[in-house]
Amino acid sequence: MSRIGVFVCHCGENISRTVDVERVALQAGKLPGVAFATDYKYMCSDPGQNLLKRAIAEQRLSHVVVAACSPRMHERTFRKAVESAGLNPFLCEMANIREHCSWVHEDKEEATVKAIEIVGMMVERVKKNRVLPNITVPVTTRSLVIGGGIAGIQAALDIADAGHEVVLVEREPSIGGHMAQLSETFPTLDCSQCIMTPKMVDVANHPRITLHTYSEIEQMDGYIGNFQVTVRKKARSVDEAKCTGCGICMTKCPQKKIPNAFDCNLGMRPAIYVPFPQAVPNTPVIDRENCTRFKTGKCGVCQKVCGPGAVDYEQEDRLIVEPVGAIVVATGFKLYTIEEKPKGSPIKGYGEFGHGKIPDVIDGMTFERLASASGPTGGKILRPSDGREPKQIVFIQCIGSRAREKGISYCSKVCCMYTAKHTMLYHHKVHDGQAYVFFMDARTPGKGYDEFWRRSIEEEEAVYIRGMVSRLYQKGDKIVVMGSDIAVGVQVEIEADMVVLATAVQPQVGADTLAQKLGISYDKYHFYSEAHAKLRPVECATAGIYLAGACQGPKDIPDTVSQASAAAAKVMTLFARDKLEREPIVATVKEAGCVGCFYCKKVCPYGAVEEKEIRDRQGNLVKVVAYVNPGVCGGCGTCQATCPSKSVELDGYTDEQIVAMIEAL
Amino acid sequence: MHSEKQKHAFEPRIIAFVCTWCTYAGADLAGTSRMQYPSNVRLLKFPCTGRIDPVFILKAFQQGADGVLVSGCHPGDCHYIAGNFHARRRFAAFRKLLEFIGVDLDRLQFSWVSAAEGGKWVEMVTELTERVRAMGPMREFRELALEEQWSGALDAPELKEAYNSI
């Protein structure tokens, strides 16, 4: 006979406001099998947990139901508490009467009845719970970092410095990401290249970092501590081992008219190229789409001029399988481009600002390249259309961001600060020029940020106009910007030479496809979701996968670096032990009933089902049955629902448990 | 916002079978966002929609559910790689079977609600509750349960008729 303890939490007032918790406890106490029921203000607090532990000892409880918040929040907390009181943690279940009851209903009577029923369901379920021993699995103390921007670089360096091997995968030919493109950084106006390139070199020289550039994730198998990640190393057409990085191939390449994406298409590059001079690795790659050799078969100059014979036109994509124990995802962001409206995208586009139609309307990243000393103009701010210096420049903020009607409701967080920086860079380079900024709100929380923004107005003479732009059109070689100054209540019209749009930060292209390969979740904008917004901000809900940087949400460099180091610390915590306890939610086969149809094997997404021979004492084969490898099983339970003879069972979600819950209703 | 709640003559019972990674989390999000929806729904958490045996749906109807909701991750987003695809196939076939035995399919809803779609969860639960409320209670299965159990005799007139018609 079970002696179940039911503990009903008030959650301060969060539950007790709409649910009569005392009545829930009283009703629960009357349920068959319940030996003890009580309520308490904060079950998860220290006294709350002690109350639970004491009750287990004093009342000799056999099972526990905690009626409180979502199990996604505190199941682990209470299972730990139960374990420390000497019960198996899997004999404890949570009844979710907060997220699924008190917070979503207003009527106290209705909510209380529902809470009582939810508790009743869980009581019936817990009766059927079985003691489950934890499963220990070995941990591969090697990690994978996806994305070689500042987030990925920081995470990789931190983990490698702690003594663990790291595999860093980058999609582009060089690591560096967006930070390598920036001219200077707020709020200190440090030269971005000067603080970035040493870190890139550190990665290249680190004895424990394996770098795969021009590579993408093809597939992921396994689970925390034991992932098998297949990396597709795209054909670079240049042998990395032989190339010395002399660059003669690039100077001799006859095809030099390809827009350089690194310079936001302002400059040109050859078909065999490194994205920028400080690239790591400094090994060129042949852009096969634009290379004459690959298009017509009629060139071959680079191969002829290459001293060490590194150019290899026959090179093919290679697939490399990397065994790792943890994964840090740091795929970063892209800027919202107005002229391209991706098919099926809910984002409605901003045709009205002329981006993509008027050449001197550019985005923030293009301005960075213009202002950068290593950029296409050598750091001179010049109009893309005619190369003249703009004397009147207009910056427009919140392009895409905070526009619910356009499909993006979030704040991109970095634009206020980088626009303030742009006005400064402009004023430093064009002394007789005037910068105007149209803004909704200036959002400058951060150390030294507000002071920086004020400096752009008070010392660098930028004129900030609160209000949005209503119309923008070309008139001769000027761009007329019409808007309203809502602080003064007048219409403003500026004849500008150049317009810079602070476009929204969006997740990197392909963020959703990667998430599907890794089995991690993402929000409607395709930013990756953290396990808990406040308490687990760098972990994915999928164990063993961590997040760093703008792939999780818009972030500036200091926040990105902090999160990357935090993710690295999480990886190190995981690697601190060579064995890992995993939840025993795995499938087991009841061999007596198994008829060996192996439907389970067909549906298992993990390949965890094996064939097992059963022999009698003489060694004669009796039958072949299914066997689930508990180390590989992911615990989805698809096999159980598929099994025609109901001979495979997912621990923790058995038919008995589910049916008990349904029957309780 | 706090308008007087309408009293209804019939409050349907809705049972929802959801996966823990997407829809359960989506329902949690609806809670943390303090959205409001009818209290008729009871959730059963599964690791994956792939785990949900169609028998549970029958069991739910038999236990007095007036509507059943099955919801998991969007196709392609399954935490367990492909569990929701298996579920989709299974339920496509199962719906046909239910239709054949005379269950109004409006009582049964399959859908995808991700962890970020608290709003969609609320809409769906509200819509299903209202729809089922309009349809009235589901009596067929409950009445079956109340009827005297089949004796096992093969010469019952109904069975004979059924055999003869084959």
* Per-residue pLDDT, B146: 62
Interchain CB contacts (distance < 8 Å): A and B: 152
d(CA A519, CA A515): 6
- Distances A8 to A48, A105, A116, A618 between C-alpha atoms, Å: 10, 18, 10, 58
Selecting from A103, A106, A541 the residue whose C-beta is nearest the C-beta of B31 gives: A103
The answer, yes or no, to whether residue B149 has pLDDT greater than 90, is: no
Percentage above 70 pLDDT, chain A: 98
- Interchain pair B5, A638: CB under 8 A: no
The answer, yes or no, to whether residue A71 has pLDDT greater than 50, is: yes
Spatial CA neighbour of A582 closest among A515, A632, A534, A511: A632
User: Is CATH 2.40.50.140 what the domain over A587-664 is classified as, yes or no?
Assistant: no
- Interchain pair A605, B83: CB under 8 A: yes
- Interchain pair B20, A637: CB under 8 A: no
- Interchain pair B25, A663: CB under 8 A: no
Q: How many CB atoms lie within 10 A of CB A290?
A: 17
Question: What pLDDT band is residue B35 in, cutting at 50, 70 and 90?
Answer: very high
Give the helix, strand, coil percentages of chain A, each rounded to 5: 30, 25, 45
Question: How does the average pLDDT of chain A come out, rounded?
Answer: 93
Token output for A105: 């209903």
Which residues partner with A582 through β-bridges?
A135
Could you tell me if A29 and A61 are in contact, meaning their C-beta atoms sit under 8 angstroms apart?
no
Could you tell me if B22 and B74 are in contact, meaning their C-beta atoms sit under 8 angstroms apart?
yes
Selecting from A111, A606, A640 the residue whose C-beta is nearest the C-beta of B39 gives: A111
The verdict on whether omega for the bond into residue A346 sits within 30 degrees of 0, i.e. cis, is: no
Token output for A408: 């993006």
B84-133, pLDDT tens digit by residue?
Answer: 999 999 999 999 998 888 889 999 999 999 988 999 999 999 999 999 99
Which positions in chain B touch A516 (Cβ < 8 Å)? 76-77
Average confidence (pLDDT) over B52-76 = 91
Q: For residue A268, how far is the Cα from the chain centroid?
A: 33
Which positions in chain B touch A604 (Cβ < 8 Å)? none
Domain with CATH 3.50.50.60 in chain A: 141-224+319-332+530-582, 335-506
Test the B interface: residue of A636, A648, A656, A658 with most B CBs within 10 Å:
A636
The answer, yes or no, to whether residue A340 has pLDDT greater than 80, is: no
- Interchain pair B39, A103: CB under 8 A: no
Selecting from B31, B79, B90 the residue whose C-beta is nearest the C-beta of A542 gives: B79
Sign of CA dihedral A474, A479, A480, A485: positive
Q: Torsions phi, psi of A240, nearest 5?
A: -65, -30
Question: What pLDDT band is residue A580 in, cutting at 50, 70 and 90?
Answer: confident
A505-530, pLDDT tens digit by residue?
Answer: 999 999 999 998 998 888 889 999 88
Instruction: Tell me the fold of B14-136.
Output: Rossmann fold (3.40.50)
Which residues partner with A146 through β-bridges?
A169, A329
H/E segment holding residue A159: helix A150-161
Selecting from A101, A111, A605 the residue whose C-beta is nearest the C-beta of B81 gives: A605
Q: Torsions phi, psi of A149, nearest 5?
A: -85, -165
- Interchain pair B77, A635: CB under 8 A: no
CA B65 to chain A, closest CA, distance in angstroms equals 9
* Chain B (102-161) residues lying within 8 Å, Cβ to Cβ, of chain A: 114-117, 122
The answer, yes or no, to whether residue B148 has pLDDT greater than 60, is: no
Angle CA A457–A463–A469, to nearest 5? 135
CA B90 to chain A, closest CA, distance in angstroms equals 9
- Interchain pair B44, A662: CB under 8 A: yes
Q: How many Cα atoms are found within 13 Å in the side-chain-facing hemisphere of B128?
A: 29
Instruction: Tell me the fold of A4-127.
Output: Rossmann fold (3.40.50)
* Per-residue pLDDT, A630: 85
* Per-residue pLDDT, A637: 93
Spatial CA neighbour of B54 closest among B13, B81, B89: B89
* Per-residue pLDDT, B154: 64
Token output for A72: 């996604």
* Per-residue pLDDT, B102: 82
Which positions in chain A touch B37 (Cβ < 8 Å)? 104-105
The verdict on A228 touching B (C-beta cutoff 8 Å) is no
Q: What is the DSSP letter of A379?
A: T
The verdict on B22 touching A (C-beta cutoff 8 Å) is yes
Could you tell me if B94 and B17 are in contact, meaning their C-beta atoms sit under 8 angstroms apart?
no
Could you tell me if B105 and B132 are in contact, meaning their C-beta atoms sit under 8 angstroms apart?
no
Average confidence (pLDDT) over A48-64 = 95
* Per-residue pLDDT, B1: 41
CA B15 to chain A, closest CA, distance in angstroms equals 9
Q: What is the DSSP letter of A348?
A: -
Residue whose structure tokens are 């809910």? A346
Selecting from A118, A516, A640 the residue whose C-beta is nearest the C-beta of B42 gives: A118
Selecting from A110, A515, A641 the residue whose C-beta is nearest the C-beta of B39 gives: A110
Average confidence (pLDDT) over A164-170 = 98
Give the CATH superfamily of A335-506.
FAD/NAD(P)-binding domain (3.50.50.60)
β pairing state of A648-650 and B14-19: unpaired
Taking the model in full, what pTM does it have?
Answer: 0.79
Secondary structure (3-state) at A546: strand
Q: What is the DSSP letter of A44?
A: T
Sign of CA dihedral B133, B135, B139, B140: negative
Average confidence (pLDDT) over A153-162 = 97
Q: For residue B5, how far is the Cα from the chain centroid?
A: 25
A631-658, pLDDT tens digit by residue?
Answer: 778 899 999 999 999 999 999 999 999 9
CA A320 to chain B, closest CA, distance in angstroms equals 21
The verdict on B6 touching A (C-beta cutoff 8 Å) is no
* Per-residue pLDDT, A542: 83
- Interchain pair B50, A655: CB under 8 A: no
Strands of A98-214 (E only): list them.
135-138, 142-146, 165-169, 184-185, 190-191, 209-212
Average confidence (pLDDT) over A425-436 = 95
Question: How does the average pLDDT of chain B come out, rounded?
Answer: 86
Q: What is the DSSP letter of A329?
A: E
The answer, yes or no, to whether residue A342 has pLDDT greater than 60, is: no
- Interchain pair A641, B50: CB under 8 A: yes
Q: Considering only the top CATH level, what class is A141-224+319-332+530-582?
A: alpha beta
The verdict on B35 touching A (C-beta cutoff 8 Å) is yes
Domain with CATH 3.40.50 in chain A: 4-127
- Distances A298 to A249, A272, A313 between C-alpha atoms, Å: 16, 15, 12
Selecting from B21, B36, B59 the residue whose C-beta is nearest the C-beta of A104 gives: B36
Residues 6+ apart with CB under 8 A from A353: A338, A361, A396, A399, A469, A472, A499, A501
Question: What pLDDT band is residue A221 in, cutting at 50, 70 and 90?
Answer: confident
d(CA A78, CA A76): 6
User: Comparing A354 with A502, which gets the higher pLDDT?
Assistant: A502
Nearest-by-CA chain A residue for B78: A519
* Per-residue pLDDT, A507: 95
The verdict on A338 touching B (C-beta cutoff 8 Å) is no
Sign of CA dihedral A38, A43, A49, A51: negative
Nearest-by-CA chain B residue for A524: B116
Could you tell me if A659 and A127 are in contact, meaning their C-beta atoms sit under 8 angstroms apart?
no
* Per-residue pLDDT, A655: 93
Secondary structure (3-state) at B20: coil
CA A222 to chain B, closest CA, distance in angstroms equals 11
Q: Which of A27-41, A47-61, A197-211, A574-588 has the lowest mean pLDDT?
A: A574-588
Q: For residue A416, how far is the Cα from the chain centroid?
A: 23
Could you tell me if B113 and B33 are in contact, meaning their C-beta atoms sit under 8 angstroms apart?
no
Nearest-by-CA chain A residue for B65: A665
Amino acid at B30: A
A345-354, pLDDT tens digit by residue?
Answer: 555 556 668 8
CA A461 to chain B, closest CA, distance in angstroms equals 43
A367-392, pLDDT tens digit by residue?
Answer: 999 999 989 999 999 999 899 999 99
- Interchain pair B79, A519: CB under 8 A: yes
Nearest-by-CA chain B residue for A125: B44
* Chain B (49-78) residues lying within 8 Å, Cβ to Cβ, of chain A: 50-54, 56, 59-60, 63-65, 76-78
How many residues are there in chain B?
166
Could you tell me if A574 and A598 are in contact, meaning their C-beta atoms sit under 8 angstroms apart?
no
* Chain B (74-103) residues lying within 8 Å, Cβ to Cβ, of chain A: 76-83, 86-87, 90
User: What HEC string does A238-258 produce?
Assistant: ECCCCCCCCCHHHHHCCCCCE
Average confidence (pLDDT) over A101-125 = 95
Percentage above 70 pLDDT, chain B: 87
Nearest-by-CA chain B residue for A15: B31
The answer, yes or no, to whether residue B158 has pLDDT greater than 90, is: no
The answer, yes or no, to whether residue A183 has pLDDT greater than 80, is: yes
Q: What is the DSSP letter of A99?
A: I
Angle CA A653–A62–A630, to nearest 5? 35
Question: What pLDDT band is residue B2 in, cutting at 50, 70 and 90?
Answer: very low
- Interchain pair B25, A541: CB under 8 A: yes
Alpha-carbon dihedral A507, B21, B70, A99, rounded to 10 degrees: -100
Q: What is the largest CA-CA distance in chain A?
A: 99
- Interchain pair B31, A98: CB under 8 A: yes
The answer, yes or no, to whether residue A147 has pLDDT greater than 90, is: yes
Could you tell me if B22 and B114 are in contact, meaning their C-beta atoms sit under 8 angstroms apart?
yes
* Per-residue pLDDT, A64: 96
Alpha-carbon dihedral A377, A383, A386, A389, rounded to 10 degrees: -90
